[in-house]
Structure 1
């Protein structure tokens, strides 16, 4: 008879193999009484949504060096935070980051609530983030389920129901294993197991602390799980980006509306994105169309931007947008798709 999975087995493995992260308090430090900083845990969890650990580390270190506390972040200028976030993607997260920081600073005296329910009352915090912060920062026995945990549970129980349909049952499976003791370490342990051992391709079952109780390992189906419903084909949208440079080197830029894709980000004036974009230049000029397009993929669609460039005189006023002087212009402050357009223009 196959034995049941034990949280203690996984915690023993985590004590030996925990990944080092700039926001994490490792098991050795936890045993010495060091407590995680809720601000750093919250920041990391927001940044890690739909983004890899490798991509997040440098952003996390930059943010926490510049804004070391939630009160510091709450007092930051929106434009500075959006610029620092540029390139990390999913820009609504940056807007929600500020909203949440200001709520904690103004309504909670700079102290994060220490329960899942209290965290859920904050703007921009959903069920997953609330559970993760409650467990990791405050050692609440909350069930934390991300993609890694779903994969581990699907294999542990040989569950073939495809995602996302299987989410409720996988969450129940994860909840049944969540311990009352060291739930924060346990939550991180399951995620580490999925990230380093129970990987999407070629899982290292021989190194897994849960190999013996794993039903998929016994059945030989681990590499097939979790199953997923077929993805819908992404549509392609078209648009135009206008890159106007004044003779003194200043660039014409426009801040996008707060709502919608790239909301609140600085970028090039452009057309709407759709099937047939309308040519609507932001300033009167002789526009030149570049031979290459700026291409980018968002969550729900592919984008192809025609790039048009122009050199304009000092006394020419824009119809929309504002010129940013060359010393104040930094391409790194632009979202990725806008940087792609800039790279085409500067090399043309």
Structure 2
């Protein structure tokens, strides 16, 4: 089962947390867990976190339940000021009175994004409620979600067209399965990944099956990255340091077998990504070689919770969802018993709060 919906952590995060081998045998189970964990977190927080370009429609507010100049976005926070606002939208189409974006204040201005609501400027003459019914009267176009912050994800060394479903990135240490990538204006979901020849070779070192043999000289050390998993023959290794053209690795990574490798053996990395294109309101497009890749930044506490929740789901499934057995000091620890504190912290910081309405 490949990833098909946006996640709040990576497949690789959960594997490291569980110390699960990076081989494909467990991928289907973990992919399912990270997707279900993300949907569960969104449901508890009453929010959609990933950025989505869309037009959403809202009932126009009136004095019976809210200030008539204030529009709450509910679970669809705005990640940036809107690009278009209209009223009298004829029940779901942007045909009505256009309200200039300059006449709208997104709030809270001092701590957003995300923006939880929007107010019409009271020094201007614009108002909601131009249509014959308050239902779906207000249309707001923009990027909805928690925020638009990204982390560097390297580049795409070779150009890709709008129909391509795979791409190679320049740095496999910063991109994982479940990540949302932004290239130019397109958003892509990393559904899976596989190995490719890095173009580097094992010039010296790593030629014995010795755990202490951990330093290799490669062709060009700038083409590899710390925290990247590489493979030489059948053995995988984790790069822990790079000095010039010398890489220091942890041998026999991911449960692979320590082995002897000949000088000149090719080094493989895991940079070939399977992508779902044109995601979350964007359109698949052609991207030039060396286009910059951004990775949508998952809020840290949400990522911690998603890793913990996903790991717990895998462990519970493996254990048959059993209750603790035994009594006293002999009782088995209840799987996931520490999750409650993490949930409480995340809901306090990110959960959508109830609001007091005008009565």
Would you tell me which structure has more helix in proportion to its own residues?
1
Higher Cα Rg: structure 1 or 2? 2
Q: Which has the higher contact order (CA 8 A, sep 6+)?
A: 2
Q: Which protein is richer in strand relative to its size?
A: 2
Same fold, TM-score > 0.5, yes or no: no
**What TM-score comes out, normalization by structure 2 length?**
0.23
Q: TM-score, normalised by structure 1?
A: 0.23
